[in-house]
Structure 1
Amino acid sequence: MGLLNVSTRALLADQVVLQTTGHNIANVNTPGYSRQSVALQTVPGQFTGNGYIGQGVDVAGIVRSQSELLTRQSAAAGAAQSADAVRAERLGQLQDVFSGGSAGLGAAINDMLNAFADVLGAPTDITARTVVLTRIDETAARMRTAAGRMDEIQAAASAQLQSSVGVVNDLAMQMAAVNEQITRAKGNGQTPNDLLDRRDQIIRDINQQLQTTQIPADDGSVGLFVAGSQPLVLGNTATSLSIAEASAFPGSGQARLFFNRPGAKPVEMDDSLLGGGAIPGLLRFDNHDLSEGRNLLGRMAMGLGLALNQQQNQGLTLDGQPGKNLFGLPASMPGHTSGAGVGTVTFSDPTRFAASDYEIRFATGSAGQVVRLSDGQATPFTDPAQLAAQAIDGLRFDLTRPGAPGQSMLFKPFGTAASNLQALVHAPRDLAAANPVMAAMGSANGGTLQLAGLKATGLPHPPGLVLPANANPAATPPIAGGVQLQFDAGPPMRYDVLDRRTTPPTTVATAQPYVSGAPIAIDGWEIRLQGAPNTGDTVLIGNALDPQYGDRFSRDTGNASALMDLRDLKMFDESTLSDGYAQAIAQVGTRTQSAKFAADLSRTIAANLERDRTAISGVNLDEEAARLIQYQQAFQASSKVMQVAQNIFDALLQGLAR
């Protein structure tokens, strides 16, 4: 009977091993499956006077081949890889918005500014003026198109965010259910390997969306925590997540992840604590990368529009009227806050704009600091009046009501500038190509003075452009009008400024140093002269609408020249207006390439860790096939032992029957 019992146990053990091997082979392609093996143990021998006689083999348990360390490392690396991959993908779409070539925004800007050259050659040519206005309208349209494309990218990212949060909530409920099943199964003293595999796979799937921290409990369940301490899954209880607008800045469009604790107010989680996963990657893209793209485009739209509007306002149309704005731009932008603060930001100097959002943080009373969020640079202020009096990056912050200590206000001055850009001038005659002032060399000049340039600047503002007085021959005594520069050959070369609205003229400034080619700025207009004067030489600057000049202003193109010269105006971080778009392309391209490099690196790390995990947990078909043969032979041998035992038992019974 002992031999029969040994063979029976062996047959049962071999059957379990063969079934487990078949289970491994059947699940070779099942995600998250860990290879299982049978742990065998010797049955304690029976003591006899001749020693212990073996009693065969028993199955001690089914063991799951798995490394807890590698499983966690693989899940964490997968989270980082997912965050980098989704961000790199979205940045690639953003990079497509800032495209070059003839269809790009940069080409439209250059074509628009270059179109003023035809007006310089033919100031009264309606066709040349029409081409300029067409180019202006095309530039505005391309700005709006680029902004619209960003809106589409944001909508797609928002939809993906909502979908990812839904996936996490569903997986969290599944894990809570699996936790409960594992806890119940643990009561029988054996490990439910397939349930453990399923739970590990759920954890990996959740980490693809949002990185988690896993903490095992004594009852066999595993708690999942997000953002450091929020319990997403605790035992058999799952808590949901949601995406909503940041509570601190309503209306700003900033997205945040919220933890919906049962019976309590949702907890807004800090983006910096979320770690890896598609959700943090999308939040970083939406709140930072896309915001920077909008600021780059909006700063260009606002800077370009303001610069052209300011210069257009200084000139005269073909009908002798002051120029009106070429582009429709917002005069101010409101701040976002959930506190007591109320205020707006206005635009003053387009050459100093920074592509950034700004946050005003109130410290004590009405004092605080303005923080440029792109680099964290802070500008302190003591009260709203002092803040409104100073320009920060070409912006002025006007607080009608300051916030309470500890509160903040968010300003996005450039976020919607491109999407709202419109061309306002459509009649060719309304293009202000002419200067509002005219200059003439004195008829008795003996030096080599020549007019090199004349334009209205409106600077400083205030007071802005102050035109020379018109002549009035009927006055007593007659008024000559205009402003006269009277030179002294020196050395050093100098000039006096005379206002000819009185007789004799009033001396405004004396002994001003003269440098050939250097600009002379007076009353919001600027003249450049070349050459050396003789003593007594004069230059007269008069109002272009002075009746004594007739319609000469209609053939003047000084303001069109000033508009075209804006190509070389340093505006965007020391880049010229014509090169500003190329700089924006470079900034977005650099960020995109950096993100792609990070995605490639994290993909490699995740693949290596997953390979290491699979090397331990994965099923090798060759190995399993070899085990099938091995345990098939063992099963056959055990059957043979049973057959022999049966024959011996039969022979024994026959002998006893005699």
Structure 2
Amino acid sequence: MSNILNVGVRALQANQAALSTIGHNIANNATVGYSRQVVNLATVEGQYTGGGYIGKGVEVASIQRVYDAYLTRQAALSKSVSAQDVSRAEKLLQLEELFGTGKTGLGASVSEMMNAFSDVASAPTDLTARTVVLTRASETASRFNDTATQLANLQRGLTEELENSVSTLNTLITGIAEVNRQIQAVVGLNQPPNDLLDRRDQLISEMNKYVQTTTLENNDGTVSVFVAQSQPVVLGTRALELKVANDPLDPTRSELRLVNGSTEVKLQDSMLGGGSLSGLMRFQNEDLVEAQNLLGRMAVSITTAINAQHRLGLDLDGDPGGDLFTPVAMADGAAFASNTGSAAIGISVADASQLRASDYRVTFTSPTTYTVTRLSDGATPAVAPGPPPTVDGLALDITGAAATGDSFLLRPYAQAAGNMHTLFASPRDLAVASPVQASMGTTNTGGLAVGKLAAGSVPAPANVTITFTSGTQYTRSDVPGTFTYSPGTPISYDGANPSAWTLTLSGAPQPGDTLTVGAINPAYAPLDAGNAKALMDLRDMKLFDGAPLTDGYAALIANVGVRAQSAQYAADVSKSIAEDLEAQRTGVSGVNLDEEAAKLIQYQQAYQASAKMLQVAQSIFDALITTVTR
């Protein structure tokens, strides 16, 4: 009698456990990260009798979660990659919106400024036309300033987002360590704590959205979590902390650090792998830097070229022109903390047409030799010997004593756009007259004509008279000898300052024809517009990687646009992959309500049958008692 009662009780308890587990699955159908659980039943070992073994029923061997470690790991990693691509794409979209097109764009402002010189060239004494030029120049500087401010605001917003993400990440790290402690406390019971394991897996999955992780299982049931490939953030039940700090080489940028007691270790961006933090850091250190450098190079190149040409003119009062814009002062190279020498590096513009939109790293291979690495592409451009030495149009002013291994970070364009300003507001100070003029001889009979006369210094040197002895030869008053004439071939001043002026002639001269080049007559200077035309011609100057000055902004927005488009495509692809892998994981571990409903009916019937078994046993027992008591 006791055997059938025990069998019935065990069956009742086993089916009750199955029903409870099914109910648990149904209740957690919508719980993120929940893995479906199943009851594993086992036959109780039978009792031997002379007639054979009599079974003792069933028992619950274990309750396990349906779990695929590979799919869970791949789903978490794919989420990490997707989060990285999505966060970067979102930031690039914000960056793209800063560089507008059309009449409100920075490019239109530059073009309008350069075109404004055409009105001055037509009427050099018109103060209104001169005022328009200064207004356009001021507007251009203001738009550069505004764009630089918006980039700085984008960086500040990025820093705040990094800090918020790291705060959430630290909460997840602490949560994983706490779940590890709880798992460690029950691991000796030899049954898996399914809900705790699910919770830990979900915390790790959430953590992967911020930074890609790797895990290592320990013998005590805990897992250790690592980021940046080898840096531990969870060691069993111990949680470490991440923080956002200013980059010591550039305080405007942020870096991630791992705090371990009193020690802080920088997490290398290239080692982060995936996660939104990786995407944000990549945006900061690649995309945003590129945009700042492109914008800053535009400011440096335009101000340098215009200032250089403006200084070669005369204003309305006949005085030499000065700078139209404030010369952009570049920050000195930032020394690495590991430097042991006393060297310092200053930067200035040597050739505006050769500037590259990039940061640089200077590394001393000995106290007197060094290499320069262009960080935008990793190339090591040749350094032209000085003094001063130059690289990519930049002059390097190295002072002090360097030590072998010393390094410096050069960011010549980072703050340039924000420091662009006009220097004067009086239209009379606009230097649009050329200091040099060419006068044809009054008795010339040939078709000789001045194609172009470009000044190279102020004031102009003494007069030089060119006399043609034939249609193909001429003499000069400043240099003995006979020279060959070829239309279109430049003729330069040959005195103490060879760049004082350059003359290009056209047409066919006759013997005896003369031409005199010298300083302009002060009485006619206000009516001259030679320098206005030279300033206007800067529009076609090859200033940005071989592109004209007016195309510099187009190249900038094309660069940002291509980056944004590429990032959005990568985000769409990685998001699709992440969704597919999560669907596969859910297909294995997720709860299917139809399947659970079928099992619910199955175990309900088994439970009822078990109860019926107890009812039968009770009836037999009652009949036995009644018979015995008669």
- Could you state the TM-score of these two structures normalised by the residue count of structure 2? 0.95
Q: CA deviation digits over 1:168-197, x for unaligned, max 9?
A: 211111111110100111111111111101
Q: Distance in 1 between matches of 2:9 and 2:204?
A: 42
Partner of 1:328: 326
Q: Distance in 2 between matches of 1:550 and 1:229?
A: 75
Structure 1 residues 388 and 173 mapped into 2: Cα distance closer, same or farther (>3 Å)?
A: farther
Partner of 1:504: none
Q: Distance in 1 between matches of 2:368 and 2:245?
A: 30
Q: Distance in 2 between matches of 1:419 and 1:568?
A: 25
**Superposed, which structure 2 residues align to 1:476-515 within 5 Å?**
482-490=463-471, 493-499=472-478, 508=479, 510-515=481-486
SS in 1 for 2:409: strand
**Superposed, which structure 2 residues align to 1:184-223 within 5 Å?**
184-223=185-224
Deviation at 1:378, TM superposition (A): 1.5
Q: Distance in 1 between matches of 2:170 and 2:104?
A: 44
Partner of 1:569: 541
* Matched AA of 2:460: L
Q: Distance in 2 between matches of 1:165 and 1:309?
A: 46
Structure 1 residues 495 and 621 mapped into 2: Cα distance closer, same or farther (>3 Å)?
A: farther
Structure 1 residues 512 and 621 mapped into 2: Cα distance closer, same or farther (>3 Å)?
A: farther
SS in 1 for 2:398: strand
Structure 1 residues 466 and 334 mapped into 2: Cα distance closer, same or farther (>3 Å)?
A: same
Deviation at 1:236, TM superposition (A): 0.7
Partner of 1:429: 428
* Matched AA of 2:271: L
Partner of 1:268: 266
Q: Which deviates more from structure 2 when the two are superposed, residues 366-375 or residues 45-54? A: 45-54
Q: Distance in 2 between matches of 1:396 and 1:136?
A: 27
Deviation at 1:255, TM superposition (A): 2.6
SS in 2 for 1:389: coil
Q: Which deviates more from structure 2 when the two are superposed, residues 290-299 or residues 388-397? A: 388-397
Partner of 1:64: 65
The reply to whether residue 439 of structure 1 matches residue 438 of structure 2 is yes
Give the number of aligned pairs: 620
Q: Distance in 1 between matches of 2:475 and 2:243?
A: 72
2:508 aligned to which of 532, 552, 566: 532
Partner of 2:376: 374
Deviation at 1:66, TM superposition (A): 0.8
Deviation at 1:526, TM superposition (A): 2.2
SS in 2 for 1:320: coil
Partner of 1:230: 231
Does structure 1 retain, via aligned residues, the 8 Å contact 2:459–2:519? no
Deviation at 1:50, TM superposition (A): 2.7
Deviation at 1:386, TM superposition (A): 4.3
Deviation at 1:252, TM superposition (A): 5.2
Partner of 2:317: 319
Q: Distance in 2 between matches of 1:266 and 1:512?
A: 72
1:605 aligned to which of 563, 577, 580: 577
Q: Which deviates more from structure 2 when the two are superposed, residues 622-631 or residues 315-324? A: 622-631
Q: CA deviation digits over 1:3-38, x for unaligned, max 9?
A: 222221111111111111111111112111111111
Q: Distance in 2 between matches of 1:509 and 1:160?
A: 72
- For structure 2, list consecutive stretches of 5 or more residues without a partner in the other structure: 494-498
Deviation at 1:561, TM superposition (A): 0.5
2:562 aligned to which of 590, 607, 622: 590
Q: Distance in 2 between matches of 1:550 and 1:365?
A: 54
Does structure 1 retain, via aligned residues, the 8 Å contact 2:438–2:515? yes
Partner of 1:475: none
Partner of 1:283: 281
* Matched AA of 2:356: A
* Matched AA of 2:476: V
1:359 aligned to which of 340, 358, 361: 361
Does structure 1 retain, via aligned residues, the 8 Å contact 2:373–2:381? yes
Q: CA deviation digits over 1:429-473, x for unaligned, max 9?
A: 1111110111111111121111222222x3xxxxx556122xxxx
Q: Distance in 2 between matches of 1:274 and 1:495?
A: 71
Does structure 1 retain, via aligned residues, the 8 Å contact 2:382–2:391? no
The reply to whether residue 644 of structure 1 matches residue 625 of structure 2 is no
Structure 1 residues 387 and 634 mapped into 2: Cα distance closer, same or farther (>3 Å)?
A: farther
Does structure 2 retain, via aligned residues, the 8 Å contact 1:87–1:282? yes
Partner of 1:503: none
* Matched AA of 1:405: T
Does structure 2 retain, via aligned residues, the 8 Å contact 1:210–1:278? yes
Does structure 2 retain, via aligned residues, the 8 Å contact 1:252–1:336? no
Partner of 2:531: 559
Deviation at 1:402, TM superposition (A): 4.2
Q: CA deviation digits over 1:396-451, x for unaligned, max 9?
A: 11111243211200111111110111011211111111101111111111211112
Deviation at 1:520, TM superposition (A): 2.6
Structure 1 residues 466 and 322 mapped into 2: Cα distance closer, same or farther (>3 Å)?
A: closer
* Matched AA of 1:562: A
Partner of 1:461: none
**Superposed, which structure 2 residues align to 1:144-223 within 5 Å?**
144-223=145-224
Q: Distance in 1 between matches of 2:382 and 2:303?
A: 30
Q: CA deviation digits over 1:332-380, x for unaligned, max 9?
A: 4311013233120111211111000111101122211111111122146
Q: Distance in 2 between matches of 1:323 and 1:20?
A: 88
Partner of 1:505: none
Structure 1 residues 325 and 115 mapped into 2: Cα distance closer, same or farther (>3 Å)?
A: same
Q: Distance in 2 between matches of 1:403 and 1:89?
A: 43
Q: CA deviation digits over 1:463-490, x for unaligned, max 9?
A: x556122xxxxxxxxxxxx112222435
* Matched AA of 2:509: P
Q: CA deviation digits over 1:34-75, x for unaligned, max 9?
A: 111111111112222332222211111111111111111111
SS in 2 for 1:528: strand
Q: Distance in 2 between matches of 1:387 and 1:652?
A: 117
SS in 2 for 1:322: coil
Structure 1 residues 532 and 402 mapped into 2: Cα distance closer, same or farther (>3 Å)?
A: farther
SS in 1 for 2:252: coil
SS in 1 for 2:102: coil
Structure 1 residues 11 and 422 mapped into 2: Cα distance closer, same or farther (>3 Å)?
A: same
Structure 1 residues 487 and 332 mapped into 2: Cα distance closer, same or farther (>3 Å)?
A: farther
Q: Distance in 2 between matches of 1:50 and 1:309?
A: 113
Partner of 1:468: 461
Q: Distance in 1 between matches of 2:387 and 2:226?
A: 46
Deviation at 1:388, TM superposition (A): 4.1
Structure 1 residues 425 and 513 mapped into 2: Cα distance closer, same or farther (>3 Å)?
A: farther
Partner of 1:621: 593
SS in 1 for 2:331: strand
Structure 1 residues 649 and 466 mapped into 2: Cα distance closer, same or farther (>3 Å)?
A: same
Q: Distance in 2 between matches of 1:21 and 1:387?
A: 81
Does structure 2 retain, via aligned residues, the 8 Å contact 1:329–1:417? no
Q: Distance in 2 between matches of 1:555 and 1:85?
A: 60
* Matched AA of 2:587: A
- For structure 1, list consecutive stretches of 5 or more residues without a partner in the other structure: 459-463, 470-481, 500-507
* Matched AA of 1:618: G
Q: Distance in 2 between matches of 1:582 and 1:188?
A: 68
- Could you state the TM-score of these two structures normalised by the residue count of structure 1? 0.91
* Matched AA of 1:610: E
% identical equivalent positions: 48
Structure 1 residues 72 and 352 mapped into 2: Cα distance closer, same or farther (>3 Å)?
A: same
Q: CA deviation digits over 1:189-231, x for unaligned, max 9?
A: 1111111011011111111111111000000000001122221
